[in-house]
Amino acid sequence: MLRTNIFVFVSTMLVFAKTLPALKNTNGHEIIDGNCSSTPYDDRVYYDHVDKTSWPFIIRSETVTYYGDRQIYCIQALNQKVNGTGGSANITEGGVGHNFVVVELESNRSHGLEFYVSIYAKNSSINAIKSPMAQNLSEFE
């Protein structure tokens, strides 16, 4: 029984440790996650300018959600507020390598919120390639 529990614990920790590097740049004052060095305009599947005015003593927040049929390779949530007044962005679900993402935006107390959010995606190469089994079966049709 003890061996089983230790095995389950170690297995869980290994899986968590393997997925941890994928989450390295998914929160902070702004997000630039994935391969964003060359992003053609045609690959942009989502764009939004999130702008909320400040209210005294209130934290403003917004949830940006994208679900699509293409694999995300770049996510940008660019903070337009400067000097520590801009708040933060955090990817809470999905992200690069998935076909969906949920980004939580939150202002600092008594400050507004302004982000430009862009998501870039391409057709998944996995779906575009026929498996060898499917090619072999098509010979019999």
User: What percent of the chain has pLDDT above 90?
Assistant: 58
The residue among 22 and 54 whose pLDDT is bigger is: 54
Rg (CA), the chain: 20
Instruction: Tell me how far apart the alpha carbons of residues 26 and 55 are, in angstroms, rounded to a whole number.
Output: 27
pLDDT at 47: 97
Q: State the pTM of this model.
A: 0.69
Q: In this predicted structure, which of 7-16, 28-37, 53-62 has the lowest mean pLDDT? A: 7-16
Q: List the 113-122 sheet strands across, edge first.
A: 31-34, 71-79, 113-122, 44-52
Mean pLDDT of 94-104: 97
Could you identify the residue written with the tokens 């935006």?
105
Written as six digits, the tokens of 9 are 């614990």
Q: Is 100 exposed, middle or buried (CB count within 10 Å of its CB: 0-12, 13-18, 19+)?
A: middle
In the chain, domain spans: 26-124
Residue 94 has pLDDT above 80, yes or no: yes
The residue among 87 and 84 whose pLDDT is bigger is: 87
